[in-house]
Structure formats: C-alpha cells, structure tokens
Amino acid sequence: MNPSPLVHVLIINWNGLEHLQDCFESLLSSPYSNAKFILLDNATDDDSVAYVREHFGNDPRVDFRLLDENLGWSRANNEGMKAALDAGADYVLLLNNDTRVEPDFLDKLVEHAESDPEIGALSPRILMFDDSQIINSVGLEASIIGSGWDRGIGRIDSLEWDSNEAILGVCGAAMFLRTSALQESGLLPDDFEIYLDDLDLCLRIWNSGYTIKLCYASVVHHKFSATMGEGKRARHKYYLNTRNRSRIVLRNFPSNQLLRALLTIDFAEAKAVGRAILDGDLWKIPLHLRSWIDFFLYIPKAISHRRTHHPRTASQDLIRNRPLFFPGVVFPENGWYPPIDIDGAEYRPMAKTAEYEHTGGKLRIRIANPHKNVAHTEISITHSDDTIATLDDEKFSHAEFDVLAGTITFRANAIISAEQSGLLHDVGGWISIETDSRNIA
C-alpha cells in the first residue's frame, strides 16, 4: 500500500499568540497522519514559540522553523517552502495563524489533488471565523488591470459554489500547493512585500501548465479583516496594491494580451486619480505617481522574469474585463445587513440566518420582497428551539405575538443571489421587527 503523500503545513506567525490555540488545536484534530505542522515564526517577540512548544510540542507532527528576522509573508513562506522541497514533501499548505480548520480538511485536499495530477493548487472553502454562513474566499478573481480580490467574499455559503470548474487563484490565508508545480513555477515573489503575491504565484502555476481548483469539501475558518488600517499603514497598503497590480500584468500576462491590459491600466489609473480628487482623498495622488515611476523602473526586471517563465494564455479566460477594481463587500452583523426602505417602511435584509435579542413582550414581524419577479422568500422564526411562525412574501407576510425574553432566530428557506438582486450580497429575506415601543428593523 502506498504511503499517504507528505504534507508540510506552514503556519506563518508574527506576534500571533492569541490565535495559536484555536489554530493548533484544530490542526491536531486532523486524522491525516503524514503531515508536519510547522510554526513558521517571523522573529516574534511575544511568547508564541514557547506557547506552542509547551502545549503542542509533544505531538510528533509539530515542528518549528524560527527565522532570525521578520521576512514578511512572502519571503518567510518561501523559506518554509524551500525546506519542504528539501524534505521531499509532496504538498505544501500555507496557512495563516488566525484560522481554525475542520478535522477532515487536509484529507479532503489531498484526496482532491491526488485525483488529478494536473492540479497545481487548491483552494479550500474559507469561511468567516465568527460567521460560518458567510464566505471569506473560494478562490481568487482578477481583472485585466491586475486588480485581485477574493472570489465569493461576503456571499452566503451554499452548494452553488461546489463546482469542479477551474478558478484563477487561491487566497494566501489557506493555499494548498503541489510541490512539483512549485518546482516549475517558482515560489512567491520576494519583491511584492505583501498584497497580490498569492495571485502572482497562481498565475505562474497556470503558466507552468497546471490548473487550479476549489476543494469545497475542505473547510477553513479565517479571522478576515477588511480594514485598511489608519494613517501611514493605510497609505502604504494603498500604494502596494496600486504598484503590485502593474507588476502582476507585466510579469504574467501573455504578450498578445499585454498591450490591451496596459492601455486599460492607463484608463483605470486616470479614473482612480479623478475619483480621489472628487472625494478629496488628495493623499492618494502622490502614491499613484510613485507607482507609475515604479512601473517604468520595474520593466527590465519584468522582461527578465518573462524570459524565464513564458506567460501563456491558459488562465486568460478567467481574467475579468469588468469590473476593473474590487466591487466591494458588505458583511452582515448577527445576520443583518444595513436597513433599506421598501414602500415607505424600513426593513433589514438578512443572510441565511439572523438573530434578534428580544426583551420580552409583544412582537410584530413583517417580511417583504422587492425582487418577487426573480424569487420567492420564506422565513422560519424560532424561539427557544420552537417554531413560532413561518412567513412568506405571498400568503402570510406578517405575524404578531407575545414572546418571552430570549434569542429569536430567523432562517431563510431560500436565497436570492447577488446576481438576481444586483446587490453586493445574497439575501434570505427582508424583515421588519416592531415592539410596542419602537421599530427595530
């Protein structure tokens, strides 16, 4: 019987002590035997290493790679991947420390990858850490100007995403890579610093003749942060995203697509600068100028890279012409999206499930559906595990009852997709909640 493929799981860490218990406890619940769970520590100055040694170090699958300085995400992961290649690993999983995995996540990834030797990388289904009904990433998408974003971000998780179709790339929070593909594509770019480096590697995997897919059955929960930060941090992030978009195109787009992409970049840059002026974000303008200077300085290095890696057209069908930039995302809070007006009344869109903390007393609930032409909505309402009402937008759209204090849970029996509604997010229904004293939709 052939042994299970060897997998090196690299848990990159820098002063991430508060995340490591969830991460390692979940990893060690995996029944997959031929794996090494390696704390890839970026010269942290908290007690991360000591904590993992004390609490998990007795497990023979746990190992450490301690770096002498903080190399950042790409360079540190490259050090871990080099060691994995030297050790004869068949696969490498890059994993952020602020994650929790399902017990069978690794088995599912290996099983999927072993089923098709042309798969160079797999994306697990990455869900929000504190709201697992919402997707963080089921792959990467990118536009013709090199802008990249998480596929499915902010959408409701459902079997609609379970497809064997190829995807463009894999989010760096949980990135499963075949080492033979890495030997041909090379590792992460060491001059991006951060942002879009995962996309760059994925495009080179495509250019090396491999494909990339989603492994929907493998589940990772991630503490995603959508914030830009503040001050210098926000400005630096904006600059790196702007600069690295051009590098993505220069390094990886095939010659027959390059001119069109560069012309579109010119248009997108003019649009971005114009928007910055209109919005009063004048601090963005020198960052764009700086990125343009970098664009020209980077051309010789990009030419050298292209001679080695030979960009192909294989992934170009997955590159989007529109939108040019990340279209945005809206996350629910306790299952609720910001309120909207429907026929003069305030309603709150909900995700698949939503919760309301009731203080007790009379409750009036109404549902509406501004998109009846595309789908029907039906909402089950429970309190203390008892169903107190089922409302639909056609026959029974409102109810009134006395309810004891406690959590009231709303569950949608169908979902109106973002494609159907034209919104940025999916919706299970639109709800108005009133008590004797106020409307709390």
Which residues lie below 8 Å from residue 15, measured CB to CB, with a gap of 6+?
44, 45, 46, 48
Which residues lie below 8 Å from residue 440, measured CB to CB, with a gap of 6+?
356, 433, 434
E strands, 229-286, are none
Distance CA 265, CA 242 (A): 10
Domains of the chain: 7-222 (3.90.550.10), 231-318 (no CATH), 340-434 (2.60.120)
Residue 437, pLDDT above cutoff 90: no
Of the chain, the percentage scoring pLDDT greater than 70 comes to: 97
This prediction has a pTM of 0.95
Taking CA 27 as the corner, what is the angle to CA 126 and CA 333, rounded to the nearest 5 degrees? 35
Interval 221-264: pLDDT, tens: 999 985 556 688 889 999 999 999 999 999 999 999 999 999 99
User: Given the structure tokens 């079997």, which residue do they identify?
Assistant: 159
User: Given the structure tokens 């942060």, which residue do they identify?
Assistant: 225
Q: Rounded mean pLDDT of the chain?
A: 94
Picking from 228, 252, 254, the residue whose alpha carbon sits closest to that of residue 241 is: 228
What's the average model confidence in pLDDT over 87-107?
98
Interval 323-374: pLDDT, tens: 999 999 999 999 999 999 999 999 999 999 999 999 989 999 999 999 998 8
Interval 287-311: pLDDT, tens: 999 999 999 999 999 999 999 988 8
Within 90-230, residue ranges assigned H as helices are 105-114, 179-185, 197-207
The answer to whether the CB of 143 falls within 8 A of the CB of 125 is no
Tokens of 351: 């995700």
**40 phi, psi to nearest 5 deg:** -95, 95
Picking from 56, 64, 84, the residue whose alpha carbon sits closest to that of residue 11 is: 64
What's the average model confidence in pLDDT over 88-111?
98
Taking CA 104 as the corner, what is the angle to CA 100 and CA 109, rounded to the nearest 5 degrees? 95
Residue 438, pLDDT above cutoff 60: no
Question: If you write DSSP's letter for every residue of 154-188 in order, what string do you get?
Answer: TSBP-GGG---SB-SB--TTEEEEEHHHHHHH-S-
Residue 441, pLDDT above cutoff 60: no
The answer to whether the CB of 357 falls within 8 A of the CB of 432 is no
